[in-house]
Structure 1
Amino acid sequence: MGGTAQTLRPFLWRAAKLHSDTEIVSRTGRGIERYDYEGYERRVGQLANALADAGIDSGDRVATVCWNHHWHFETYFGVPSYGAQLHTINPLLPDHHVEYIVENAEDKLLFVDASLIEKIEAVADSPSLSSVEQYVVMGDAVPETNLDPVTDYESFVEGHDTEYDWPSLEDDTPAGMCYTSGTTGKPKGVEYTQSMLWGHTMATLTPQGLEFDESDVIMPVVPMFHVNAWGMPYSATAAGAKHVYPGPAPEPADLAKLIEEEGVTFTAGVPTVWLGLLEYLEENDADLSSLERIVIGGSAAPEAVIRQFDEKYDVEVLHAWGMTETSPIGTVSHLKSKMDDWDADRQYEKRGKQGLIAPGLEFKVVGDDGGEVPWNGEDFGEMYIKGPWVTQEYFERPEANEADFEGEWLKTGDVVTVDEEGYVQIVDRAKDVIKSGGEWISSLELENALMAHDDVAEATVVGVPHERWQERPVAFVVPVEGTDEDELREGVLASIREEYPRWWAPDEVVFIDEVPKTATGKFDKKVLREEYDDQSLVEGAVPEDAAPDE
């Protein structure tokens, strides 16, 4: 039997030894900063020694409230390789959620960006943060603040030895922690062990995963506070690839400039990021010739987005699916080799799905009757998943564990259908699928159809209570500036009625300035449900012959 545990540190050791001069580039408030893996390894050693000097013990939790930059990246290896647990906190969460998360995790040290200090100041006096013994502001200065005790990151690591005697850690040593966004209650903590992150990293390196190698230049736009930036900082390091971190709140112009100037080959983020980049490119010139692939996750990408990147910029868009609970990559929509000769429409139909299960994982689809649903592309049910980087319990939440797990299976809450080739397609979240007259309507399919319209910037669909039909769909649409709303309403409804059963068509189209978003950039339908929980939107709107059978 092998004598070496499956841990993160060997990934850094390899990168520093084999790719010592490969760059790590970071956009910060001070401008672009860059160093290489050799320098990064030394800095991580300094950080580990600083953690020891600060009294951090093995098993303690160290929190970050930070954007995507090199200081944050240093904690990614420095904290877990030290034997502590890196707890990334989403700064976009409500204050009371941040309080709950820090209290629940009992964080001992907290790294925070200068631009986010007010977020922590707002809750710092709460008893919920009594576990925090030290605040460290990322950078080389501390703005005026009531945080105490506080120092800046450069002072925190300065003077410490660049060599550190790394401990031999076991596979099951907790290495990371992330909380779900808590849109339906308190956030739930998910712990990642060393072996979970190791296994996830190895799987994403494969051709069936994200397929990184040392020639890649990888820019995670997905926030580093959100499920470890989908694991890319670890995978890029394991591959020996160049890192590019876009810094705080990058605009489309920032992303285009980084792609052009740093030669980015691979990037990833939620659909709204890439919709914004496409809009920017309509009005501005940018050289995207280095860019080969974009991974889109978080929510489904409209086919129009996939086609635009393909046809106008020769960039392959990969759909992926995952969850906080799955570390997060679960599926990636690669075409099978036998599909290379298919016509473009058939290929796009496959690529628009969430894809094939990552090697190492298993899943099944469970119907309302508790039985497994066949892979026929039509029947659907809830997706259950298990594997070496899928959590089997939430942190200190026994009631959630009882509801969300069945033995070693995680009940994802995603309603899916699987075709004969094994491609998973998310039909809806279990809480978002619309049941009208006893029949199901996929809000995701309707959203994709709406956003395929040239004059629709964003769109989402929610179910509104209906006295007769139980629920009816209502579309919330952000029109492109200057669009005639009456014509757009008629146009989108007509196109949906051509493609779907008439009773699928939204009963009303409500025009709004912006679709509300969760702290992770997904559409927040809960806000719209609360604001528009009004039967008058849909009463009497459905013709008798257009509704499903009761």
Structure 2
Amino acid sequence: MTGQTLRPFLTRAATLYPDRAVVARTGAGETRDTYAGYADRVRRLASALRAAGIGRGDRVATLCWNHGRHFEAYFAVPALGAQLHTINPLLPADDVRRIVAEAADRLLLVDPSLTDALRAAYDPDAFESVERVVVVGSTEPDLPLPTTGFSEFVAAHDADGDLPALDGDDPAGLCYSSGTTGDPKGVEYTQRMLWSHTMAIMTPMGLDIADSDVVMPVVPMFHINAWGLPYAATAAGAKQVYPGPSPDPADLVGLIEREGVTLTAGVPTVWLGVLDYLEDHDADLSTLSRVVVGGAAPPERLIRAFDDRGVEVVHGWGMTETAPVGAVSHLKPELRDADYETRLEKRKKQGLILPGLEFEVVDDDGDSVPHDGESMGELRVRGPWVAEGYVDGNGDAFDGSWLRTGDVVTVDPDGYVELVDRAADVIKSGGEWISSQAVENAIMSHGAVSEAAVVGVPHERWGERPVAYVVADAARDDLIAAVSAEVRREFPDWWVPDRFEFVESIPKTATGKFAKTALRARHEDPLAGPVAAEPPDSA
């Protein structure tokens, strides 16, 4: 075995931390394991997969929640030089059908609770490559494919089977993007890519994971390898806690209390729900030191509320194509003694690009923009854990070794990257840019607003104008005035949305992001008439 591979991470954990716990919540309760026991099961699963014909370059797909059996596949499949293809079960059936066909998956691990999703997606042509379904449970439901229970699948295999020699260039994983701006795209990861990403996020400039930590990934394991936490926690020898299917705030708080969780991670809506729960319930979160937030910028009130509880909110940025973490917002030494508001403004940003990656920010002509905190451009990155293409061969997002992220950002003089918007979501009004995400965050700073999505809608004079979709519990007229004032407090008057639409819920993609394409599609006719304040007409 040569090069950087995943296998030594588990070997080290089982050798140096054999009794360290791996805990998982399931529908039937909680399971408890140790790294020694876990490593044994990983090797048994790898032996079973090898006996089933799985080898280097083959793809094994999963339709699973966050639990111990899914975690076993994280190391067992790459141990064979095969690719672990984690499928998002919340994707539309058409998308699941398409990506199974494109990936040519040979074997599928599925939770019993997700067999209906599998049936809905099944098509004999799309699933032609799938030779067997292994159900991760005690039942074997009737499925339109050869089916085996997990226990039966591994029963005849032991942990002493030989594993193939691997190299850093051997395959390890496959994830599909969220499909926010189009069809999900497949991104392949080599052993070296995931090894490099693991080493980077373990560092203090990354997520600072140590053997003393208790790590609970709330971000789904089907979403970009749970942000790499299962690999990094194993490499560090940290205790791991998996919250299982559809954990509610009470489940998460209970696990934090019982298991002594120190580090957890998920999208902002998860932690807003936890804060709402804590308003009415007593809980001991004294072990929790940091909450990692990604996928969307954390509302300021979220950071402040956790600060009041002595818990640090760590904001990160990444993409499927960056495996995924590319930047983390830690305070530089010279900023740690700054006043609270200054520190807060830095922490709200996507942060500092991780060591090992290169980045540039360029305008429409490909010229670098100054790092003045105001000039906008597209973020480009490259490095050892950044993809250089998609499974389907589409290279539109790539310029040589550079990944064109599609994220419009600014970089301040201290080097902190701030995501202004996705290129597809920036609103161009009167020739000037409006950041939909910045307006959303200003609206959501109001305590009565639980969610807000802002989209650009065609306007007869100004090209585009912002329209806000809001989920809130307050009188509408009063709330419009209040949130408009919040926007004006931070931005020019002409950034205030022309229209506020109050809805019970905002449509989301399968990874929980606002489905802005669907919102824009609601506006067939362009807006007309005056706006609250006219933008500069520089178009």
Do residues 270 (structure 1) and 258 (structure 2) align? no
- Which residue of structure 1 lines up, in the alignment, with residue 64 of structure 2? 66
2:276 aligned counterpart, secondary structure: helix
2:470 aligned counterpart, secondary structure: strand
2:502 equivalent among 486, 489, 511:
511
1:364 equivalent among 360, 365, 374:
360
- Which residue of structure 2 lines up, in the alignment, with residue 198 of structure 1? 195
1:67 aligned counterpart, secondary structure: coil
2:319 equivalent among 323, 328, 341:
323
Q: Single out whichever of 385-394 and 282-291 deviates more from structure 2.
A: 282-291
How far apart, CA to CA, are the structure 1 residues paired with 2:55 and 2:489?
A: 63
- Which residue of structure 2 lines up, in the alignment, with residue 342 of structure 1? 338
Do residues 547 (structure 1) and 535 (structure 2) align? yes
Do residues 293 (structure 1) and 282 (structure 2) align? no
Is the 8 Å Cα contact of residues 56 and 171 (structure 2) preserved in structure 1?
no
Q: CA deviation at 1:194?
A: 0.2
Question: Aligned pair in 2 of structure 1 residues 167, 542: CA closer, same or farther (>3 Å)?
Answer: same
Aligned-residue RMSD, C-alpha: 1.2
Find runs of 4+ consecutive structure 1 residues off by over 6 angstroms: none
How far apart, CA to CA, are the structure 2 residues paired with 1:504 and 1:181?
A: 28
| Amino acid corresponding to residue 540 of structure 1 in structure 2 | G
Q: CA deviation at 1:533?
A: 4.0
Q: CA deviation at 1:337?
A: 1.2
- Which residue of structure 2 lines up, in the alignment, with residue 432 of structure 1? 425
Q: How does 1:358-397 map to 2 (within 5 A)?
A: 358-397=354-393
How far apart, CA to CA, are the structure 2 residues paired with 1:140 and 1:189?
A: 32
1:128 aligned counterpart, secondary structure: coil
Q: How does 1:109-148 map to 2 (within 5 A)?
A: 109-142=107-140, 144-148=141-145
Is the 8 Å Cα contact of residues 2 and 166 (structure 2) preserved in structure 1?
no
How far apart, CA to CA, are the structure 2 residues paired with 1:343 and 1:514?
A: 37
- Which residue of structure 1 lines up, in the alignment, with residue 184 of structure 2? 187
Is the 8 Å Cα contact of residues 2 and 168 (structure 2) preserved in structure 1?
no
Is the 8 Å Cα contact of residues 65 and 222 (structure 2) preserved in structure 1?
yes
Q: CA deviation at 1:147?
A: 3.3
How far apart, CA to CA, are the structure 2 residues paired with 1:222 and 1:380?
A: 30
How far apart, CA to CA, are the structure 1 residues paired with 2:57 and 2:48?
A: 16
Q: CA deviation at 1:549?
A: 2.0
Do residues 85 (structure 1) and 83 (structure 2) align? yes
How far apart, CA to CA, are the structure 1 residues paired with 2:483 and 2:44?
A: 58
Q: CA deviation at 1:350?
A: 0.2
How far apart, CA to CA, are the structure 1 residues paired with 2:486 and 2:194?
A: 45
How far apart, CA to CA, are the structure 2 residues paired with 1:474 and 1:87?
A: 38
- Which residue of structure 1 lines up, in the alignment, with residue 23 of structure 2? 25
- Which residue of structure 2 lines up, in the alignment, with residue 98 of structure 1? 96
How far apart, CA to CA, are the structure 2 residues paired with 1:69 and 1:343?
A: 42
Is the 8 Å Cα contact of residues 140 and 155 (structure 1) preserved in structure 2?
no
1:244 aligned counterpart, secondary structure: strand
Is the 8 Å Cα contact of residues 322 and 385 (structure 2) preserved in structure 1?
yes
- Which residue of structure 2 lines up, in the alignment, with residue 477 of structure 1? 470
Q: CA deviation at 1:499?
A: 2.6
- Which residue of structure 2 lines up, in the alignment, with residue 251 of structure 1? 248
| Amino acid corresponding to residue 532 of structure 1 in structure 2 | H
Is the 8 Å Cα contact of residues 434 and 443 (structure 1) preserved in structure 2?
yes
1:167 aligned counterpart, secondary structure: coil
Is the 8 Å Cα contact of residues 123 and 129 (structure 1) preserved in structure 2?
no
Do residues 217 (structure 1) and 208 (structure 2) align? no
| Amino acid corresponding to residue 192 of structure 1 in structure 2 | Y
| Amino acid corresponding to residue 282 of structure 1 in structure 2 | E
Is the 8 Å Cα contact of residues 181 and 424 (structure 2) preserved in structure 1?
no
Q: How does 1:451-530 map to 2 (within 5 A)?
A: 451-480=444-473, 483-530=474-521
| Amino acid corresponding to residue 237 of structure 1 in structure 2 | T
How far apart, CA to CA, are the structure 2 residues paired with 1:547 and 1:421?
A: 30
2:465 aligned counterpart, secondary structure: strand
* Identical columns (%): 60
Q: CA deviation at 1:125?
A: 3.5
Do residues 177 (structure 1) and 166 (structure 2) align? no
2:398 equivalent among 389, 405, 413:
405
Post-superposition CA distance 1:320-343 (Å, at most 9, x none): 000000000000000011111101
1:249 aligned counterpart, secondary structure: coil
TM-score by length of 1: 0.96
How far apart, CA to CA, are the structure 2 residues paired with 1:296 and 1:495?
A: 23
Is the 8 Å Cα contact of residues 99 and 126 (structure 1) preserved in structure 2?
no
- Which residue of structure 2 lines up, in the alignment, with residue 420 of structure 1? 413
Q: CA deviation at 1:506?
A: 0.6
Aligned length: 538
How far apart, CA to CA, are the structure 2 residues paired with 1:169 and 1:405?
A: 28
